[in-house]
Each structure stands twice: as structure tokens, then as C-alpha cells.
Amino acid sequence: MKNVSTAGIAAAIFASFTWSMNFVAPFVVGNYSIFDLAACRFLLSGLIGMVILIASAHLCRGLTLRDWFVAGGLGFIGYVGYFLTVMVAAVYAGPVIPPAFLGLVPVVLAIAGNYRGRSISWLPLLIPLALAATGLLLVNGSSIMQADVQGEKSLVTGIAFAIAAVALWTWFGIANQNALLKRPNMDARVWTTLMMIGGSIQTLAFLPIGYGMDLFRAPDLGFGLGAIRNLYLPALMLAAVASIGGAWAWTIASQRLPVALAGQLLMTEIVFATCFGLMVQHRLPTIAEAAGMMVLVLGVVMAINAFHTPRRLRAA
């Protein structure tokens, strides 16, 4: 079993914190669309990645063309493609139900990771996973019940894309660790920037498609000084902190933790996102939300303890 390191745990929690900022994005774009913000964010991520790559040129001498292609593919699966499926899910099913489904990512990733790698026996994971499912239900339950979705067909389409997003990120979590296992000497900064540059190139390719689908409002609103507060600054913050910082931290976590534990630690993203949402709404959590967050944190603590405690693998 891969050794459980404190640095890996801290990196996974930091990645979860940075990615929770994504849930605040719709509140800061003003009249711009979330697609404007995403395009600007991923393009800036690529530019920042190129700067980091140039500054780390001495670490790039052993890179192969395969490294570039693999990292670029992972950049699409875990970032660009994932984001697009999330956005389509939100368009069809509204802003509430897709995040509730996406909350299943840590649970699915933990199960898939342990099924594939058998880091520990299943018994110690049962209680943390049960607590995670209960916490997610408590945090999202009332919102789902109050969700306003127009039409059964729209709901089915939205849920289908939300499930696709869960599948994409689970795929990314496992494939990314496999790629890093094959590259034990890969620097986390270099790997992160390769993914971001790949995602930026894919975003450029998507721009004409998005324009044809009338997804962008920036061409009408303008790209001048008026876009600084609602577009450029939020995009730069998300690019530097959530994209580059989060991906870098997740790369470190993937190099130091079993996928099953890293997946459990992603639960903290839901806690951070809920706290950010409460701050934006200027309210205190409901009893169910507070209980849900406490149960989620308890599940994470128990998962960490399960991986720290030596146990002999037992047949499932």
C-alpha cells in the first residue's frame, strides 16, 4: 500500500479548498456568462502554465511527446471536458441538482480507487463512506426537494450529463495517478503545467463552437475596462488558485496517497463550498446543513485514521 503522508493529506485538502471556489463563480460574473469566465480562466491557466514551464526549463529536459499527449488528455478529462458536462447539466437541470450529484465524486472515486488498488480492506471504509453519503444527503437534501426544473425530459438530460461529469472526474482521478506512477520522477509543477497548457489549447479549439452556440456574452458586452471586475479578475483568481494551485496540490496528493483516501479527502470540498455559499447568501446554515458538514468531516477523519492504522487486507 502506498504510504500515507501528512503532506499528501494537506495537499488534497488544499486542492479541495481551491476547487470549492468554483461554486462561487456564478455570483461574481455579473452580466457575463459562466462560459465567458471559463474560457478566460482556462486560457489564463495555459499562459501561467507556460511561464512556469519556462521558469522550470531545467526540469523539462526529459519530457517526451507522449508526456505532452497524456497530460493534455488528462487536462481535457479532468478540467475542460468535466467543466462542459457540468455546465450542460446546469442548463438542463438547474443550478442545484448537478452539484448534488457532483458531491458523489469523492464517494465514487474512493470506491473505484480501492476496488482497483485494494489499498485497504473494505470493512474500515464502510463507515466513512456511509457517513459521507449521509452528510451529502443532509447538505443537499432540502435544496433538491426545492429545486425548480422545467420538464421531465430536461431533468433526465441534466442528470445524465451530471452523471457523465462524475464519470469523467473519477476517470481522471484514477488515470492521473496511473500516469504519475509510470513517471515516478515527474515534478508536480511540470505535470500540472502540461495539463493546463493542454486544456488551454483545447479551450481555444472550443471558442468558435461556443460562439456558434451563442454561449458567450463577452463579444456583446465588450472586452475593455468594464470586464476587469466581473471577468478578468475572477478568471485570473480561478486560474492561479483553483486551476494551477488546485491541480498542483492534487498532483502532489496523487503522488503520495492511495486514490481511495484522496477521494475521501475530496469530501472537504463540499464543506468549503457550503461555507462559501452561506457567506454569499449572508445566512447561517440550517440544522440539516450543519449536521451534514459535521458528518462529512467525521467521515474524512475516520478515513484518514483507517489508512493510518495497519490492517491486513481481507477478502471483500
pLDDT at position 1 is 45
Q: How many CB atoms lie within 10 A of CB 204?
A: 13
Residue 30 within any structural domain of the chain: yes
Can you tell me the mean pLDDT for 72-97?
A: 79
The residue ranking higher by pLDDT, 26 or 193, is: 193
Q: Is the pLDDT of residue 281 over 50?
A: yes
Exposed, middle or buried by CB within 10 Å (0-12, 13-18, 19+), for 276?
Answer: middle
Residue 190 within any structural domain of the chain: yes
Residue with the three cell numbers 437541470:
93
Domain region containing 281: 6-308
* 207 Cβ contact list (under 8 Å, min separation 6): 39
pLDDT category of residue 149 using cuts at 50, 70 and 90:
low
Residue 314 within any structural domain of the chain: no
**Sign of torsion, CA 296 302 304 306?**
negative
Residue 31 within any structural domain of the chain: yes
pLDDT at position 43 is 93
pLDDT at position 308 is 64
Residue 17 within any structural domain of the chain: yes
> Crossing angle, helix 188-212 and helix 246-256, to 10 degrees?
130
Cell of 90: 446546469
Residue 315 within any structural domain of the chain: no
The conformation of residue 77, written as its DSSP 8-state character, comes to: I
Q: Is the pLDDT of residue 315 over 70?
A: no
Q: Is the pLDDT of residue 98 over 80?
A: no
pLDDT at position 93 is 72
Residue 57 within any structural domain of the chain: yes
For the chain, what is the domain count?
A: 1
Residue 77 within any structural domain of the chain: yes
Cell of 63: 519530457
Helix (H, G, I), strand (E, B) or coil at 312: coil
pTM, 2 dp: 0.82
